[in-house]
Chain A
Amino acid sequence: MEKGKSKFVGVRITDEQASMLSRLQKDSKLSKTELLLKGLTFLDEFYSLGLDRRPLSDELSALEKEAFHYAAELRRVRTREEAINEMVQELHNIDEIVDKYHCDKSALIQILLEIQAKYYWLPKHALMWVSERLNVPMSQIRQIATFYKAFHLEPRGKHLVRVCLGTACHVRGGPRILEHTERALGIKAGETSEDMKFTLESVNCLGCCALGPVIVVDGDYHGRLSPSKVEKILSSYD
C-alpha cells in the first residue's frame, strides 16, 4: 500500500488511516487535540507500537485502555504514597507528643489523651508507635484505651452529639431526650451514623444542671429541652 502524504501530529499516515481518523473524529465528536489527549501521546512511537497493523480506531481504543490502566495504577501509587506520607506525618506528630512528656511511661494516659484530642480517635498505627516508643506492650495500651471513657478506637462522625444523663437531667426527663435523639439519628448511643455525619454519646453529667435536660452538639449547648425540640436542633447541623 502506497504511503500517502497525510500527517497526523507530525507523523505520516496512510490515506486509509487518514480517512479512518477523520471518520473517528466525526463519530466521537472529538477535536484533534482531544484525540491526542486520549492516548495519542504514543503516536511518535507509531511504528514501534505497531499502530499500522490494525485499523487505527481499534489501535486507539487499545491504547486508550492501556493509558487508563496506567493512569489508574499511577493514582493508586499516588494515593498509597499520600497515605504513607500522612501516616509518617502523624507519627511525627505523635513523636512530638511523646517527647513533650520525656518518653515517660507514667505519662501514657496523658499521651493517649493528646492523641485523642488531635485525631478524635486512636488509630491503630498511632497506638503501635506509642507502644514502640514507650516500650509498653500493646496489651497494656489497649487495656487503658478500653477502660477509660475518653478514648475511642473507631473514627468518629463529623458532629458529636452528647446527651446528658446526669441525675439532675435524669429527673427532668433526660432519658426521653436520648430516646428521641436515637430515633432521629437512627443510631444508638455510642454509635456513629453510616454517613459519618453524627456520633451519638450519652454522658453522665455536663455540670450545667440548671439547663437540664441538655444536649451538646459540637460544643453548642441546647438546654431546657423537650423531646419535640430535638429534631429541629439536629436538622440545623449538616
Chain B
Amino acid sequence: MTKLGSATDLANLRKQIVSKMDPKKLCVTICSGTGCQACGCDKVSAAFQEQLENQKLSGKVNVKRTGCHGFCEKGPIVIIYPEEICYLQVTPQDATEIISQTIKEGKIIDRLLYTDPKTGKKIAHESDIPFYKNQKRLILENNHNVDPKSIDDYIALNGYSALAKALSGLSPEQVLEEVKKANLRGRGGAGFPAGRKWETTRNAPGEIKYVIVNCDEGDPGAYMDRSLMEGNPHLVIEGLILGAYAIGSHEGFIYVRQEYPLAVENTELAIEKAEEYGLLGKNILGSGFDFKITIHRGAGAFVSGESSALMTAIEGRVGEPRPKYVHSSVKGVWDRPSNLNNVETWATVPFIINNGADWFNSIGTKGSKGTKIFSLVGKVNNTGLVEVPMGMSLRDIIEKIGGGIPNGKKFKAVQTGGPSGGCIPEKFLDFPVDFDELAKVGSMMGSGGMIVMDEDTCMVDTAKYFANFLADESCGKCIPCREGLKQICKILDAIATGKGTDDDIKTLEELAEVLRDASLCSLGQTAANPVLSTLRYFRDEYEAHIRGSCPAKVCKALITYHIDPEKCQACGLCLKNCSVGAISGKKGVVHVIDQEKCIKCDTCYDVCPDKFGAVMKISGEPMPPAVPEGTKVKKKV
C-alpha cells in the first residue's frame, strides 16, 4: 500500500473500493461486540463459514463481522444483506436453516424475527423494530455496517472525508471555530464545552501539546465507549486527528481499560492501518501535518478516569488526581498542555466538520446539542445501547425504546450518571434528557449509564452499593473522600440492618456536604449524590428501614423467609436445594423453614415453582403462626 498523498488520492481510493463492492451480493453480517460474544457469536460465525464452504457458496456469499448493534438483549444479531433481514438470538444450529431457507431460497424464517410484544407482529427489518425506530442513530449508525478490522470498510462509508476536508481546505483556526460554534459539550459527564477546552490548550504556552482519548469507562453499567472503540475505532481516530490539527498537537494517547481486550485489539489494528495508508504519521495526506497515536492500557482503577489522574497514569505512575489550580489543558501530561476528551466527544467531531455547526445545532435542546448514547440496562425489557437526540424524555427512552419494565412490575426509579449521579423518581420521567435539566433534579448526565429500577429494588441498598463502590475505589489521597465515604458506608450499613436511628439521616446529610465541599477531585465531590438523591425522593424507605422493615424486601437483615402452608404443594424442590438443611417436610406434608438455621440465601424463593409461589419474604410484619408438625398440604384442584 502506497501512502495516500492528498485528499484526491483518498477520494480515488474510495471510488476504487466502492466499485469493487457489489450491493446486490448476499452478505451475512454477524454482530461481534462483547455482548454478542458473550452470547456465542463466535460459534455462529464459525458455523456460517463452515456451512457455506461445505455447500460451495463461500464465493457467492460474504460473511462479515461487525461492531456492536446495540440491541444486546437479543444477541447474537445476524443480518442478511441485501434484503437486510434481521435475525435475533441466532444459535450455531440456526445457520443451516438460514442458509437453506433465506440465502438459497430467499424465504424469511419467522421464528428468528423480532416479535412486537404488543401486537405480536413479526418484524423483518432492524430499522422497523421499535427499539431502533425511536432512536436517532448518528454516531452508532455505522457500527453495524463496518467491520472494525477493515479500514477499507470505513473509507467506503465516507470515512476520513472530514479529515481530508479539514487538511485540504480548512485552517486549524477554522476547525476550532466550527467546533466552538457547534456547542459540542464533553460527553464524559460534566458537559464542559469541548471547543473552549481545545482553545485553552491551543493557546497554552509550550511547543509540545498532547491530545488524549479517555476510554477508561469505569462506571458500572455503562459501555457506550467500549462499543464505539470496538466497533468503529477509525471514527474516534479521525476525530482525534481533527482535534490535534485544531489544537496544534502532534502526539496523542488513547487510554483504554485493559478490561476491554477487544477494544485494545481493534484500536491497535486501526492505528497500524491508518499509518500504512498515510492517515497517521508524517505529512498526513500531503498537508505537512504530523501526528502519531500511542495506546495506553489502564490497569483497572476507577479514579484513573479522572482527567488529572489519567494523565499521571500515562506517565507510568499511580493514577491519583491532583488539585487543579492549574487546568490540565495548560499543564497536563509531563506538565505540558494536554486536551482530554471522552470517546464519544471525539467521535462526534468528524460529523460536525462534515455537516457543519449549523446542522449540529439543529439537533437537541437549547443548552445541549447533538445526540447522546446511553446504555439502557437493569430492569428493562430491551437492554442495550441507545442513541437519542438531546431533549428526549426519560419516559420515551424507557418505554418506547426500552419497552418498559419486565414481568409487569412497577417502575421505581432510573439511575443516571453512574456512581456520581442520582436516582430519578417517576414524577420527573417527563423531564428532557439534557445536561442542565438532569442537574436540576439532583442527578447528572454522566457518561451515559441509565439503570432502570423497579419496585423490587431497595433504594437504601442502591445507595449502599454506590457508597461501597466509591469507598473501594477512593484513592485515599484526600481525607474527606477516604474517611467520609467510610462513615457513609457504616451508617448505611446500620440502616440496612435495622440498627439505624433518625439522627443517622441528619449525619448523612452533613457528611455529604463535607464531601462535596472539601474533596480533591470530582470522585469525592459527587460521591454523596446517590445518597442525597435517594434521601430526597425516597426518604420514606430510609425511615421504613429505621423502623425495621425493607419495603422492597432486599436487605437481608430485615427479611425472613416463610413457606405459606396454604400454597405449599410439598414438591420438595426447596428442601432438596437448601444448602444448610433448614427446610423440613416430606411427601404430602407442608414444608417448614427452621429460622435458626436459615441463612437467607434466597434459594428456596428462587426454586419454588411460579405456579405455587409458596415461599415468601416477610419484612416488618409479624411472622404468621407456626403450622403444627405434619400438616397435610391442601392440594390444588
> CB within 8 Å of B: which residues of A?
104-110, 112-113, 140, 143-144, 147-151, 165-168, 170-173, 176, 179-180, 183, 203-212, 214, 221, 223, 226-228
Contact = CB atoms under 8 A, between A and B. Distances in A.
Interface string B375-403: 10111000110000000000000000000
B315 A209 contact: no
Contacts of A168: 220-221, 377-378, 383, 451
Interface residues of B, number: 57
Contact of B299 (A104, A109, A203, A211): A109
Interface string B413-447: 00100100000000000000000000000000000
Contacts of A208: 34-35, 38, 72
Contacts of B39: 211, 221, 223
B38 A211 contact: yes
Contacts of A165: 220
Nearest to A166: B220
B108 interface: no
Contact of B415 (A105, A143, A167): A167
Given A106-B314, A223-B38, A226-B606, A172 B299 contact: no
Identify which of B34, B35, B258, B316 gathers the most chain A CB atoms within 10 Å of its CB. B316
A161 B104 CA distance: 43
Contacts of A107: 316
Given A106-B314, A210-B73, A170 B606 contact: no
B35 A167 contact: no
A227 B601 contact: yes
Identify which of B258, B453, B607 gathers the most chain A CB atoms within 10 Å of its CB. B258
A227 B606 contact: yes
A187 to B, nearest CB: 16
Contacts of B219: 205
Contacts of A228: 577, 603, 606-607
Interface in B336-392: 375, 377-379, 383-384
Interface string B289-306: 000000011111110100
B38 A214 contact: yes
Nearest to B315: A106
Nearest to A140: B317
A109 B220 contact: no
5 contacts: A150-B299, A171-B379, A176-B602, A204-B218, A228-B603
Nearest to A117: B258
B35 A150 contact: no
Contacts of B72: 208-211
Contacts of A203: 259
Contacts of A171: 378-379, 451, 453, 457, 462
Identify which of B34, B260, B317, B449 gathers the most chain A CB atoms within 10 Å of its CB. B317
Contacts of A151: 299
Identify which of B260, B466, B601 gathers the most chain A CB atoms within 10 Å of its CB. B601
